[in-house]
Structures are given as C-alpha cells and as structure tokens.
Amino acid sequence: MNITKINSHYLLASEKTTSDVSLEWFDPAHWQRLNAIVTTKEGRATAWFYKHNAQVNVLKHYWRGGLIGKLLSDQYFFCGLKKTRVYQEFKLLCALDKLGLPVPTPVAAKVTVQGLIYRGDLITSAVPGAKSLCELLQTRQATEQELSLVGRTIAKFHKQGVYHADLNINNILFSDNSKVYLIDFDRGQLRQPQATWQQANIERLKRSCNKEAGKWPTFYFSEHDWQTLLSAYQTIIG
C-alpha cells in the first residue's frame, strides 16, 4: 500500500494502481464532467460506477448507520490514520486480493481529517455484471450449483481466517460469469480460524435470508436451499 498526504487528505493506493491517485478521483462531479459515469446504485448511500483506463470502478463514501448516523452522518473520530475504518478496510482488501480470494480489487482510498473528525471514501473495481444473491432470489430460485458455490466461497474465506462483519445476502455477488464475490469489508478482520466466530458468521447470514424473505412479496428461498448452501460450506470448512 502506498500513502500520500496532501494537506488534510491521506490518499491510499494499492500496489496494482498504476496511475498517481488524485483528489479528483473521489469527487463524483469529476467523473460526471468526463462523462465517465456508467451507473449509480442506491443503498444507504449512492455508489458511483465510472469508467477509467478501460476499467469500471466503484466510488463509495463512508456513512454511519443506525441512530448515531442521524447525528454524525459521515463523521468519525480521528485517532490516527491506521485506526480509521477506511485504512483498515483498504488494508484488508489488499491482503485478501493477495490471497487470491474473490473480492473487488482495491484501487484507492481517501481519508480527510478536520480537527478530531475524519471522513472517508473508497474506490474498488466493479464486479462485472454483478447481481446480489438477494436480487437473484427476488426473481427466481437459485440452482443447487449456485447455492453450493456460495457455501464453498464463504468457507474459503473462513478457512483463511477472514471475518466478515456484515455477512448478508446483499454482500454476496454473482458476476456475469457466475463467479461468487464477497463485498463490503468495513470492520472486517483477519483472525485465527475458529469455529465459534465462523458459526456466528453463518448464523448471521441465515438471519439475513429470513429477514429478506419476510421483506419482499416474492422471494425464492426455502429451508432446503439453506441446507444445500450449508452442506457445501461444511464440505470445505471440515
């Protein structure tokens, strides 16, 4: 990871990022002026998809969730660069990319400090043709092969000691060539592989499935589907 400081901004770049990182990269208006915006995706916040050097990247701003988010929105207390959520997620993504795990390639990140407060942004490559497991299950039933692939992919992360703090079916993506990716590693960690936290992670995913099933008028997911996913997971995790 390369770090550059420009006034109140820290710019982070992965070893794979060949261009010099610019502050403009983190301004959606810059990409709009270049007519480079491919699409946007609304969630808790807008994610901007733009084309740069023949690659589609995703720009996201860090926003707080929950009740505290209503008060502080995008503000975090600054206790040093390496303790920021931006730095920690970017560093983790770089490590996972080196391990060959299916994550979006980290491109760059920015931490802007104002007194005791910082704000952050992250740029990664886009997963080609991405569709979340949640989106898929709203339109049709997942095949046994797809569910098994999800289970095996999660197991590969767990075997490497990857803890995903928000493992839910919106953060599991299928690419256009049917490869499974995990995204959103904010507050994630590399840990010693251990059944306790691994099982808690899987139970969180199950709760996510149940929550989404009760949220959408049509949702193709059954207990049999869950057992298919879980069985494939257990085959790899041992």
What's the rounded Cα separation, in Å, for the pair 2 and 108?
A: 9
Catalytic residue among 166, 184, 186, 225: 166
- Spatial strand order of the sheet with 172-174 comes to 131-132, 172-174, 180-182
**Residue among 206, 209, 207, 171 nearest 187 (CA):** 171
Taking CB atoms within 8 Å and a gap of at least 24, the contacts of 172-175 are 172/132, 172/133, 172/134, 173/127, 173/130, 173/131, 173/132, 173/133, 174/130, 174/131, 174/132, 174/133, 174/136, 174/146, 175/127, 175/128, 175/129, 175/130
Concerning whether 166 is annotated as a catalytic residue, the answer is: yes
What's the rounded Cα separation, in Å, for the pair 17 and 88?
A: 18
Q: Which residues are catalytic?
A: 166
